Amino acid sequence: MIKSSVNSLYTTVECSRCTICCREPIVPVTDSDLKRICRFLKKTAEQIVRFYSIDEMDYDSESGLWIRFVQGKRAMGLRKRLSRCIFLDDKNNCSIYDHRPMTCRTFPYMIDLDQDNKPLKVKLNKIVNCCCKRKKRSPLEEVIENAKVELEEDSRYYEKVEKWNKQKKPGTMRDFLMFLRLNGE
């Protein structure tokens, strides 16, 4: 039995603002993330996301984020401009910081939660070579709360993707956004 580490202290990080995490990985998003961003920016989903192929994203091909389209499997992620997140401004600040995707809120942490939503394991994500400074140890309450929301939103989104993927005939990317009720946002 794995012991819950709810009262444990974890190494905190201080962002060095290197922006590697805003350049290297493609940030996958859920419909919940997209709705938040669209409402804030008053833009359409098509202006914010792109559908990336398996060759473009380094994620498990069996993961729940892969959507079946006429063009093949794709995952929904934030668009990039000049190899950077479209929301990274000239001063290396996130222009949608208060509305950013949940995965950005929890990065660089990877948190496994137990059935009671208590942290089982907390580790640092190695998807990019993050230059952040390791600091004191703390309980990371806000990050853990964000991880709970992320897990909830991911689960709901993956259920929708699964339902979409079970259709007899794959649709288009625009059809998928309509399926998620994001075509007007």
pLDDT in tens, 71-94: 899 999 999 999 899 999 999 899
Alpha-carbon gap, residue 153 to 30, rounded angstroms:
7
Higher pLDDT, 14 or 106: 106
Q: What is the pLDDT of residues 37-46, one digit of tens each?
A: 999 999 999 9
Q: What is the pLDDT of residues 121-164, one digit of tens each?
A: 887 777 667 766 666 666 678 888 888 999 999 999 999 999 99
Contacts of 172 (CB under 8 A, 6+ apart): 69, 70
Give domain status of residue 60, yes or no.
yes
- pTM greater than 0.85 (yes/no): no
Neighbours of 19 (CB within 10 A): 16
pLDDT value for 1: 34
Alpha-carbon gap, residue 120 to 112, rounded angstroms:
5
User: Could you tell me the sign of the dihedral formed by the alpha carbons of 140, 146, 148, 154, in that order?
Assistant: negative
Nearest CA among 2, 70, 73, 65 for reference residue 30: 65
Give domain status of residue 5, yes or no.
no
pLDDT value for 6: 46
- 59 band by pLDDT with thresholds 50, 70 and 90: confident
Give domain status of residue 185, yes or no.
no
Say if residue 65's pLDDT is above 60.
Answer: yes
Q: What is the pLDDT of residues 159-182, one digit of tens each?
A: 999 999 999 888 999 999 999 998
Give domain status of residue 184, yes or no.
no
Give domain status of residue 4, yes or no.
no
Say if residue 183's pLDDT is above 50.
Answer: yes
pLDDT value for 3: 41
What residue numbers bound the domain in which 101 lies? 10-179
Say if residue 28's pLDDT is above 70.
Answer: yes
CB 128 within 8 A of CB 21: yes
Give domain status of residue 3, yes or no.
no
Q: Count of domains in the chain?
A: 1
